[in-house]
Amino acid sequence: MKRVKLALLGFGNAGQAFARLLCEKHDKIKQKYGCEVEVTAIATNSRGNLVSADGIDLEKALLDLAESGRFKDEQSLSAMSTMEIVKNADYDVLIEMTPLNIFTGQPAISHIEAAFERKKHVITANKGPIAWKFAELKEAAEKAGVKFFYETTVMDGTPVFNLVDKTLQMAEVTEVSGILNSTTNFILEEMAAGVPHEEIMERGRRMGFIEADPAMDIEGYDAAAKITALLNVLMDAHITPDMVERKGIEDITVDDIREAESRGNVIKLVCRGVKEKGCVKASVRPEEIPKGDMLASVNSTTSVVSITTDLMKKLSVIEHEPEIEQTAYGVFGDLLRVLGE
């Protein structure tokens, strides 16, 4: 039976959830696609690296991390660096799940480029490469004759890119808008409910979606990277996050929220991208939204994206309060596309 070998770069919460999904669906993958999917390399920042051409025992790797926070498989432990794994390990599909560098997209971009040089398929959950160098990476994948998928980069596993690619053929996307940063959406909603700032932050950290330093979310950088990724893929925008007109929620006060309420509005951090005279303009900024508008009803950690086309007009997709399993499924779904195409 054919073997399809994976190299996982990054094995945090999303990587581990993806590994559990692989274990759970192993037999169904064999039955449907007629192949064995095996992980032959795992690279991490602090837990150690595993490399084995014969395949890594994922269940043992997950158990070791749960018990000690590090890998213990002495036969597979490797001193190879992440880039050495990319350039030398035995794999067919590289899955890029390393932490995001929101200002450069590196080193994820270099990992992907090196995989393409070896004619390997790539799946990325890291939005940096799509925001900073999508056109070049897409061209490199086409030149190498390999697949390049990235559904998880925006709205976790919600099929936004697949929706347009598979079901809106010949429809030109003219506008993209939405609420794409769940952290700021949660913060604004809690502020409106009168919850003290420190309590909001502590609760968000306990729930796992507010970072120790939430500046990248609050100041709009994450949202800017996401709208850039959407526009680069859906509108061939050729833009980078520093070209987005960006304003976060750092200056929004409870008084601002109360004044908006007096006008029948709520405040949301809204991403927009519009094609005007052949050029794409993008923005991220707080907006007052009438309470009857769909965007006003997007609460807690829910996200929404609306896509306007010339042929199908405006469509909206909502992801309701995602957890890490949705991110894992986004990567898993991209893997199934690799297997099936």
Tell me which residues are annotated as active site.
226
Radius of gyration of the chain (CA): 21
Residue 235: count of CB within 10 angstroms of its CB: 21
Listing from the earlier edge strand, what are the strands of the sheet with 279-290?
Answer: 245-246, 279-290, 265-276, 173-179, 303-309, 313-319
In 21-84, the DSSP E strands lie at 35-43, 49-51, 77-78
What distance, in Å, lies between the first and last C-alpha atoms of the chain? 18
Dist CA 48 CA 11 (whole Å):
10
Placement of tokens 């409910």 in the chain: 193
| Long-range own/partner contacts, residues 43-48 (CB < 8 A, 24 or more apart) | 43/7, 43/8, 43/9, 43/10, 43/11, 43/81, 43/82, 43/85, 43/98, 44/10, 44/11, 44/12, 44/71, 45/98, 45/99, 47/11, 47/71, 48/77
Greatest Cα-to-Cα distance within the chain, rounded to the nearest angstrom: 66
Compute the distance between CA of residue 69 and CA of residue 46 in angstroms, rounded to an integer.
Answer: 9
Distance of CA 128 to the CA centre of its chain: 9
Q: Looking up tokens 């190498």, which residue turns up?
A: 144
Beta strands in 84-138 (DSSP E): 93-96, 121-124
How many other C-beta atoms can be found within 10 angstroms of the C-beta atom of residue 147? 17
Residue found by looking up tokens 């192993």 in the block: 26
Non-local CB neighbours of 253 within 8 Å, separated by 6+ positions: none
